[in-house]
Chains A and B, each alone.
Chain A
Amino acid sequence: MRRRPGIGGLQTAAAARDQYRILGENVAKLRTDLMKEQLATFRSQLEEFARKHKNDIRKNPTFRTQFHEMCAKVGVDPLASNKGFWAELLGIGDFYYELGVQIVEICWATRPHNGGLINLQELCTLLRQKRKSDREAVSEDDCLRAISKLKILGSGFEVISVGKRKLVRSVPTELNKDHNEILELAQAQGFVTVDEVERRLSWTSGRATDALDTLLDEGLAMIDDGHRDGKRRYWFPCVSSISSSVVSDI
């Protein structure tokens, strides 16, 4: 704008600024209103969707996973609070809290056997056995969600990936890289020998026995001296559980 001299010019400039400001406010207000409206629509749509598919969400684990993914994309966490309308609508919070409690129970019960590290698959199988009366299916995704909620308790529940598998840890053991590599190696047969560890990972025998002894100490490994070849085998219940091997036998 061309600057005009004198008082009149200043006044005009001030008036113009005011005009602009008012216009700007109007536009902003319009936008906010629109946004609010959109959000309200979205929320009601989501609610309606949830209400419509309530049963699917409860009963069908695949559908539930997809619903969770959708919620995550738009930044809604149906598990964030047990008091929100999600909980009232779906009872979904309770579902995961219940799973969480049952997961803790299973981890504790199997701890003497597996040293506090359990295969996610096995955990799911046990969970389903435990909830037999309850027709709602439980997927691995549900387990993971329930476990992620347990983290808040600070009790050291954690999911770790070893090789292709996911293991759930319920003891505050720190596994270093060596231990992880041994666990990964053990996934093939369920056990390893010192020889095998040395050969496959190109470690010195000291490093191998040291790592294996620690795993033994933590209760994650079990010794088996009974094989014909006379070589000591270290079995890992967390990667090849008795129950899963027997379940596949049935």
Chain B
Amino acid sequence: MQKLGDFKLPQFFNYPPYFTYSPTLLLLSNFGRPVRDTREKQVQLWKEFILDYCRTQKIFVIELEEEFPLFSNHLIERSLSNEAREAFLSALVSEGRAEWLDRGHRKCLILWHRIQDWADILLHFVRDNGFEDSVMTVEEIRTGVESRGTENHNISSKQPSAILNSYQF
């Protein structure tokens, strides 16, 4: 099986049509259900794929217009259109597994832990290290000595603000 670093690529990654965002057909709408199935399946597979990859590779931000290893497969000479990239990421956003960082939907923060889970992780981190009731900078959370080997090590600089926002009830 094809691999990307130590990441096992899913089977559909080698099947060209998965790189074309399935259209919704307007004709014969009474038979429309299977088409939606195809698209749903496609979106579902891509969502899981992106989340899995980001989780194992510790990637926090995907930029739509930049080269991202999952969005093209040189072996079969296919790459996702911007429309498709945006559609798949939007699907993640709608499930709370990602957040757009800008209005133009060009940068996306991937939440392989949900915000709530990140909040718990940070809280544990703070407790375990005895930082309760003290002041920490975002930088300390990300790259401080204590953060090494924890989930929040090298966390995206965008992320803490999103997490911290969730604390301000």
Query: Of A213, A219, A250, which is within 8 A of B1 by CB?
Result: A250
- Of B14-22, B120-128, B161-169, the one contacting chain A is B14-22
Residue A222 interfacial (CB < 8 Å): yes
Within 8 A of B (CB), among A124-166: none
Residue B2 interfacial (CB < 8 Å): yes
Q: Are A242 and B25 interface neighbours, CB within 8 A?
A: no
Residue B131 interfacial (CB < 8 Å): no
Q: Are A222 and B77 interface neighbours, CB within 8 A?
A: no
CB closest chain-B residue, reference A225: B20
Known: A224-B78, A227-B78. 18 other contacts (CB 8 A): A111-B37, A112-B37, A115-B38, A213-B28, A216-B25, A217-B25, A217-B31, A217-B34, A223-B17, A224-B19, A225-B20, A227-B16, A233-B17, A235-B17, A242-B14, A243-B11, A246-B14, A249-B2
Residue B70 interfacial (CB < 8 Å): no
Residue A245 interfacial (CB < 8 Å): yes
With contacts A113-B41, A115-B38 taken as known, whether A223 is within 8 angstroms of B27 at the C-beta atoms is no
Q: Please indicate the chain A residues that have their CB under 8 angstroms from the CB of B14 in the complex.
A: 242, 245-246, 249
Q: Are B41 and A217 interface neighbours, CB within 8 A?
A: no
Alpha-carbon distance between A227 and B23 when the two chains are bound, in angstroms: 17
Alpha-carbon distance between A228 and B19 when the two chains are bound, in angstroms: 13
Q: Please indicate the chain A residues that have their CB under 8 angstroms from the CB of B23 in the complex.
A: 223
How far, in Å, is B56 (CB) from chain A's closest CB? 20
Instruction: Report B1-45 CB contacts with A as 1/0, cut-off 8 Å.
Output: 110000000011011111110110101100110110110110000
Residue B147 interfacial (CB < 8 Å): no
Residue B90 interfacial (CB < 8 Å): no
Number of interface residues of A (CB under 8 A): 30
Alpha-carbon distance between A115 and B41 when the two chains are bound, in angstroms: 11
Q: Are A224 and B35 interface neighbours, CB within 8 A?
A: no
Within 8 A of B (CB), among A216-250: 216-220, 222-228, 233, 235, 237, 242-243, 245-246, 249-250
Which A residues are closer than 8 A to B by beta carbons? 111-113, 115-116, 171, 191, 213-214, 216-220, 222-228, 233, 235, 237, 242-243, 245-246, 249-250
How far, in Å, is B91 (CB) from chain A's closest CB? 15
Alpha-carbon distance between A227 and B38 when the two chains are bound, in angstroms: 20
CB closest chain-B residue, reference A214: B28
Query: Of B12, B27, B34, B35, which is within 8 A of A242 by CB?
Result: B12
Q: Are A219 and B34 interface neighbours, CB within 8 A?
A: yes
Alpha-carbon distance between A21 and B115 when the two chains are bound, in angstroms: 98
Residue B79 interfacial (CB < 8 Å): yes
CB closest chain-A residue, reference B18: A222
With contacts A112-B38, A243-B11 taken as known, whether A217 is within 8 angstroms of B32 at the C-beta atoms is yes
Q: Please indicate the chain A residues that have their CB under 8 angstroms from the CB of B28 in the complex.
A: 213-214, 217
Q: Classify chain B's interface size.
A: 20 to 34
Question: Which applies to chain A's interface (DSSP): helix, strand, loop or mixed?
Answer: mixed
Q: Please indicate the chain B residues that have their CB under 8 angstroms from the CB of A116 in the complex.
A: 34
> What are 26 pairs between A and B in contact, CB < 8 Å?
A112-B37, A112-B38, A113-B38, A116-B34, A171-B34, A191-B16, A213-B25, A213-B27, A217-B27, A217-B28, A217-B35, A219-B34, A222-B17, A222-B18, A222-B38, A223-B20, A223-B23, A226-B20, A233-B16, A233-B17, A235-B15, A235-B16, A237-B15, A242-B12, A242-B14, A246-B14
Alpha-carbon distance between A115 and B22 when the two chains are bound, in angstroms: 13
How far, in Å, is A113 (CB) from chain B's closest CB? 6
Q: Please indicate the chain A residues that have their CB under 8 angstroms from the CB of B34 in the complex.
A: 115-116, 171, 217-220
Q: Are A245 and B20 interface neighbours, CB within 8 A?
A: no
Alpha-carbon distance between A91 and B142 when the two chains are bound, in angstroms: 62
Q: Please indicate the chain B residues that have their CB under 8 angstroms from the CB of A223 in the complex.
A: 17, 20, 22-23
Query: Can you list the 8 inter-chain pairs with the closest CB atoms, starting with the nearest?
Result: A219-B34, A222-B17, A112-B41, A242-B15, A224-B17, A226-B78, A235-B17, A112-B37
